[in-house]
Structure 1
Amino acid sequence: MDTALVIGGTRFIGRHAVKELLDHDYEVTTFNRGTHANPFADVEGVDRVEGDRTDETALEAAAVSVDPDLVIDCVAYHPEEVRTATELFADSRYVYVSSGSSYGAEHVPKREDGTPLEPCSPEQASDDSAETYGARKAEGDRAVFEAAERGVEAMALRPCIVYGPHDYTERLDYWIDRVLNHDRVVVPGDGQHLWHRAYVGDVASALRIIGEKGTAGEAYNVGDRRLLTIRETLETIADAAGTEVEVVAAGERELAAGGLSPTGFPLYRDYPHVLSTAKLADLGWESTGVKEAMVRTVEEHRESDRDGAEHDPGRDAEKRVLGVLDTL
């Protein structure tokens, strides 16, 4: 039986990665601080090592005690963490969870071998702000490439926006909550903007497949094979929930009547963000159908207490926008 170490493994992508590995007969160990509930505490075949991934001594101890065939690194947010991990796990196959945000040009679609990455200054590399996230992930990719040149079997996976059960970011939960609780839902712009998304189960399977079949020094995009506009997303949510929704598109002028702007809504992006997934598909990876993925997502949302409230621009403000639109 192959062994795998998941750095992280309790919340979202890591949680699904552990399940994916178990389903494919891996013996799995998670490495994390234990600050979140462990969903695998009583699951046979899953062990846990407690430690902070920024503590090199603790990470080295995990490397020695587990001696994994495969390492999936879900929580490397600074390039130095990737460099350390690729040194400590030089005898394992290592997959770094990067991001579609690492791309530094607005190509449509963004391709692993053609679209340039974000530059990253030393100051950005050690920063913790959202503004430097893409730059830090890109530098982590470069750390993977450098490790491969040293002979390490290191690879990177670049997901776009990830959604699905147990999504603690609650970005899609906001829209699910709107569809479940309101007949009319305001979307910014014309409702046709595209921000590529990836179902979390597909991200988990991609991590395993890359770990098994990927080429050292390569990066792979992952995202739904069918892209949905925000309007289509809400309609798909409604279909999955067995309800109906009227999607009401509002331009900047109409939104301003409610004191709103397009960027105040989750999952809004003015310019299309689309990733090519052909390279990953060549390894045998397949995408879950968006309707099936949304059914699973809505079902788990209903069982959770997440409502995306932190992303809420305000229903009263939306009502004012709807009032303006109804007079046109």
Structure 2
Amino acid sequence: MDDVLVIGGTRFIGRHTVAEFRDADYDVTMFNRGTRENPFADDESVTHFEGNRRDRATLEAASDAVDPDVVVDCVAYFPADVRAATDIFADADAYVYVSSGAAYGEERVPKREDDTALEPCSEEQATTDSAETYGPRKAEGDRAVFAAAEAGVRAMSVRPTVVYGPHDYTERFAYWVDRVDVADRIAVPGDGLSLWQMAYVEDVASALRIVAENGAAGEAYNVGDEHAPMLGQWIDLLAETCEAGVETVGATARDLARNGLEPQDFPMYRSSPHVLETAKLRALGWSSTPQRLALQRTVAEHRENERTGRQFGPDRETEIALLDDLTE
């Protein structure tokens, strides 16, 4: 497998996926609309094919022009996207769909690829672009992968849990990096006991390559850090990385309610544990980056950009009022 087509490729997971395959000596082509800055514009080893992935004719043109051995689909947000891609690239050696841990439809610890039920997806959900339908749409995309594999396509799915790392445009994790890096005291919901396993973005990219090379058709592979700290432990790790002497103050749901807040107002808070079993992926030779190293890279890039994530959590004035209430 020498030629890889990455559908997406400029922002976050796609950007790291391009770098992963390039560094593994693949010839890489990115397929996207060209509406965002291309981080590989000066890299002669990465080619750009411009087009809208939802336009079948353009996707077919990319297939004819590149004739890829591997297709990594980073921006398939609707089941129809997956069905079209697995049809157009049916002859590729590997089609790898970036799904999500949100595809799981029951709360189990851990969630396993072959045991944990997926979200159902109605016809209306399959075409509705909203946060509420994201998990169902990803689950239906998984089912499209499985159907393609049954028809003879070497199609596979990779399910990351929530992803962090350099160039994270979602800014969910950036909220906590910013708070730890600039504030002397911060509020932590649920006394820091929220457990939401995360996945370092470079590990997601390596998982996509390893599954393309060694995965089995019709299989799904979870990806997440092999150690899953709770939110309070993540903040401790960030404080160590940032060399910050921040004081953390735990806040229960009742504490927050007195100040007009609830735990879900804080990024990365989850009321029930979300942990994915990664043994299936590790059996292919994958391993995760040590979290201290992952955080060093994340913080270094964070300090170079203007993303703070502040818009995704309580404003500082409200947080200070909460902190004063908790420490009186």
TM-score between both structures, scaled by the size of structure 1: 0.99
CA–CA separation in structure 2 for the residues paired with 1:308 and 1:54: 30
CA–CA separation in structure 2 for the residues paired with 1:240 and 1:215: 38
Residue in 2 aligned with 1:74?
74
> For each residue in 1:235-281, what CA deviation from the matched residue of structure 2 results, as whole angstroms up to 9, or x when unmatched?
11111112222211101221123221111110110000000000000
Deviation at 1:305, TM superposition (A): 0.6
Residue in 2 aligned with 1:124?
125
> For each residue in 1:106-151, what CA deviation from the matched residue of structure 2 results, as whole angstroms up to 9, or x when unmatched?
0100000000000001111011011000000000000000000010
Q: State the AA in 2 paired with 1:145.
A: F
Q: Name the SS for the 1:303 alignment partner.
A: coil
CA–CA separation in structure 2 for the residues paired with 1:281 and 1:185: 36
Aligned runs of 1:1-328 on 2, under 5 Å?
Answer: 2-92=2-92, 93-327=94-328
Check the 8 A contact 1:257/1:320 in 2, yes or no. no
Deviation at 1:309, TM superposition (A): 2.2
> Percent of aligned positions with the same letter in both sequences?
61
> For each residue in 1:61-95, what CA deviation from the matched residue of structure 2 results, as whole angstroms up to 9, or x when unmatched?
00110000000000000001100000000011100
CA–CA separation in structure 2 for the residues paired with 1:54 and 1:270: 35
CA–CA separation in structure 1 for the residues paired with 2:174 and 2:325: 26
Moved over 2 A (4+): none
CA–CA separation in structure 2 for the residues paired with 1:54 and 1:268: 33
Deviation at 1:47, TM superposition (A): 0.3
Alignment RMSD (CA, Å):
0.8
Q: Name the SS for the 1:17 alignment partner.
A: helix
CA–CA separation in structure 2 for the residues paired with 1:304 and 1:321: 29
CA–CA separation in structure 2 for the residues paired with 1:219 and 1:269: 24
Q: State the AA in 2 paired with 1:172.
A: F
Q: State the AA in 1 paired with 2:22.
A: L
Q: Name the SS for the 1:30 alignment partner.
A: strand
> For each residue in 1:153-197, what CA deviation from the matched residue of structure 2 results, as whole angstroms up to 9, or x when unmatched?
000000000000000000010100000111111011121110110
Q: Name the SS for the 1:190 alignment partner.
A: helix
Check the 8 A contact 1:188/1:250 in 2, yes or no. yes
CA–CA separation in structure 2 for the residues paired with 1:56 and 1:113: 32
Deviation at 1:312, TM superposition (A): 2.6
Q: State the AA in 1 paired with 2:75.
A: V
CA–CA separation in structure 1 for the residues paired with 2:252 and 2:318: 14
- Deviation larger for 244-253 or 265-274: 244-253
CA–CA separation in structure 2 for the residues paired with 1:317 and 1:303: 27
CA–CA separation in structure 2 for the residues paired with 1:16 and 1:161: 15
CA–CA separation in structure 2 for the residues paired with 1:112 and 1:29: 30
CA–CA separation in structure 2 for the residues paired with 1:323 and 1:39: 44
Q: Name the SS for the 1:101 alignment partner.
A: helix
- Deviation larger for 23-32 or 240-249: 240-249
Q: Name the SS for the 1:95 alignment partner.
A: strand
TM-score between both structures, scaled by the size of structure 2: 0.99
> For each residue in 1:206-252, what CA deviation from the matched residue of structure 2 results, as whole angstroms up to 9, or x when unmatched?
00000000000000000000111111111111111122222111012
Q: State the AA in 1 paired with 2:287.
A: E
Gaps of 5+ in 2: none
- Count of paired positions: 327
Gaps of 5+ in 1: none
- Deviation larger for 176-185 or 199-208: 176-185
Q: State the AA in 2 paired with 1:259.
A: G
CA–CA separation in structure 2 for the residues paired with 1:200 and 1:254: 34
Check the 8 A contact 1:3/1:26 in 2, yes or no. yes
